[in-house]
């Protein structure tokens, strides 16, 4: 892979410069959905698929960017001395630009420009964080090329700011954190309020993680996403009239039941209920996984899906069809929607000797019910964002 990308780099930019290769994974969240911006816990892991960036510093002050995923857009060229502007027609390049902006804010004096070629092998807009992946690969690339010495946590926060402020999606920190801090064979339990975290080995025994893509792009997601955030903020404000809490993540389910009458609007109450119970579920699920009790982990995944479907209302026909078909299959330990919802992907834990049958049967029922075709990926859990050194 690395050699092919280096050849492409030299062809696209017509240079023989020695380029360096960087990589940032995509991520999948195993449980803890819509809890990150509510100050709760999440439990994602980094994947072995992701975004590559092949780059080298230039003598002059030009920046040239090219994505193999958007060849018709071609090379995007500008000068370091130009203001960084969001351009609708160069959609993908806005992510690296947002990250460059963050480095400038932290005092990086760009003395030279650079050439960079990107290649991503995660499906776009499917809830596997292709956006956070391109942000983090850009962050580790700039750090590598210009010798800044920011910590990975700093790069994670800068990437989230880029998405919040430059792109305009008010996402929580889960994606960037999982992608920056991921570790092979481990998921990470993250407290999104304190940023305390703990790695937890994913022991699936004779089973694997299977991601099923509805192939329904989440066009509605962004507006509904922000709507859910405001509903939770309103519920929190209601609770704060009597309780000293900073976020919904501070409440146990028992405390929630005792005080839920403070939340005036019924819809807001349902949203808050999901956030509180999902946080609790996440902690219990990680505990079960530690104890080697995969079956209970799977049951909690199902409860998570039901809560997202009924209380948080971010599922939809496509996701429900895939998840319900999975629940009915032999060898399925757990299955739920993952990511923001309204489309995108589900994540399932499936016994290795049943995967073929799973893909065949779930794929067929999905096609029958929705007239859409699903894609399936058996994924591996890999390391976080980094430079790929020799022989990698």
Nearest-approach distance from CB 165 to ligand NG1, in angstroms: 13
Point out the residue whose Cβ comes nearest to ligand NG1.
339
Among residues 36, 102, 231, 268, the one that binds ligand NG1 under rule CB under 6 A:
36
Read off φ and ψ for residue 219, nearest 5 degrees: -65, -35
Nearest-approach distance from CB 173 to ligand NG1, in angstroms: 7
Q: Please enumerate, as own/partner, the contacts of 123-126 that have beta carbons within 8 Å and a separation of 24 or more.
A: 123/213, 123/375, 124/69, 125/217, 125/218, 125/344, 126/213, 126/215, 126/217, 126/339, 126/344, 126/345
Q: Is 381 exposed, middle or buried (0-12, 13-18, 19+ CB in 10 A)?
A: buried
Among residues 172, 316, 382, 384, the one that binds ligand NG1 under rule CB under 6 A:
172
Nearest-approach distance from CB 129 to Mg ion, in angstroms: 6
Active site residue 175: yes
Number of residues that bind Mg ion (CB under 5 A): 1
Q: Choose one: 22-30, 125-133, 270-278, 279-287; the region binding Mg ion (CB under 5 A).
A: 125-133
Rounded Cα distance between 44 and 32, Å, is: 8
Nearer to Mg ion, 175 or 278 (CB): 175
**Residues 6+ away with beta carbon under 8 Å from 82:** none
Nearest-approach distance from CB 172 to Mg ion, in angstroms: 11
Q: Can residue 131 be called a binding residue for Mg ion (CB under 5 A)? A: yes
Site for ligand NG1 in 152-171 (CB under 6 A): 163, 169, 171
Q: Can residue 247 be called a binding residue for ligand NG1 (CB under 6 A)? A: no
Q: Which of 3, 115, 147, 175 is catalytic?
A: 175
Q: Can residue 28 be called a binding residue for ligand NG1 (CB under 6 A)? A: no
Nearer to Mg ion, 184 or 222 (CB): 222
Rounded Cα distance between 39 and 192, Å, is: 5
Print the SS3 string covering 135-204. Answer: HHHHHHHHHHHHCCCCCHHHHHHHHHHHHHHHHCCCCCCHHHHHHHHCECCEEEEEECCCCCEEEEECCC
Q: Are strands 62-67 and 345-351 parallel, antiparallel or unpaired?
A: unpaired
Nearer to ligand NG1, 21 or 348 (CB): 348
Chain residues that interact with Mg ion, rule: CB under 5 A = 131
Binding-site residues for ATP? 67, 125-131
Interacting residues with ligand NG1 (CB under 6 A):
33-34, 36-37, 127, 129, 131, 163, 169, 171-172, 174-175, 225, 339-340, 344
Catalytic positions = 175
């Amino acid at each position: 892979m690395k050699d092919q990308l280096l050849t492409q780099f030299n062809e696209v930019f017509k240079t023989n410069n020695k380029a360096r290769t960087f990589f940032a994974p995509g991520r999948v969240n195993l449980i803890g959905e819509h809890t990150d911006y509510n100050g709760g816990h999440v439990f994602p892991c980094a994947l072995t698929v992701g975004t590559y960036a092949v780059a080298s510093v230039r003598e002059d002050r030009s920046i040239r960017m090219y994505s193999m995923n958007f060849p018709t857009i071609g090379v995007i060229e500008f000068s370091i001395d130009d203001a960084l502007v969001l351009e609708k027609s160069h959609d993908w390049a806005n992510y690296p630009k947002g990250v460059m902006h963050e480095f400038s804010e932290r005092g990086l004096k760009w003395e030279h420009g650079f050439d960079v070629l990107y290649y991503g092998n995660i499906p776009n807009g499917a809830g596997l964080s292709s956006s956070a992946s391109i942000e983090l690969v850009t962050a580790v690339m700039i750090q590598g090329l210009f010798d800044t010495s920011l910590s990975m946590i700093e790069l994670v926060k800068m990437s989230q700011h880029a998405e919040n402020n430059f792109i305009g999606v008010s996402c929580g920190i889960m994606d960037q954190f999982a992608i920056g801090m991921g570790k092979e064979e481990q998921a990470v339990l993250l407290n999104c309020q304190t940023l305390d975290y703990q790695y937890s080995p994913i022991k699936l025994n004779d089973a694997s993680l299977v991601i099923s893509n509805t192939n329904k792009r989440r066009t509605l997601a962004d507006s509904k996403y922000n709507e859910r955030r405001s509903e939770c903020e309103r519920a929190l404000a209601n609770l704060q009239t009597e309780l000293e809490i900073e976020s919904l993540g501070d409440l146990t389910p028992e405390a929630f039941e005792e005080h839920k009458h403070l939340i005036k609007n019924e819809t807001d109450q349902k949203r808050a209920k999901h956030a509180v119970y999902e946080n609790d579920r996440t902690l219990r699920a990680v505990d079960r996984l530690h104890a080697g009790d995969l079956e209970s982990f799977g049951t909690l995944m199902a409860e998570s899906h039901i809560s997202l479907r009924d209380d948080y209302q971010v599922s939809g026909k496509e996701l429900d069809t895939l998840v319900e078909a999975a629940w009915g299959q032999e060898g399925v330990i757990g299955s739920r929607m993952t990511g923001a919802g309204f489309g995108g992907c589900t994540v399932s834990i499936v016994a290795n000797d049943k995967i073929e049958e799973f893909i065949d049967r779930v794929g067929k029922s999905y096609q029958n019910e929705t007239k859409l075709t699903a894609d399936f990926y058996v994924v591996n859990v890999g390391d976080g964002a980094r430079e790929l050194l020799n022989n990698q």
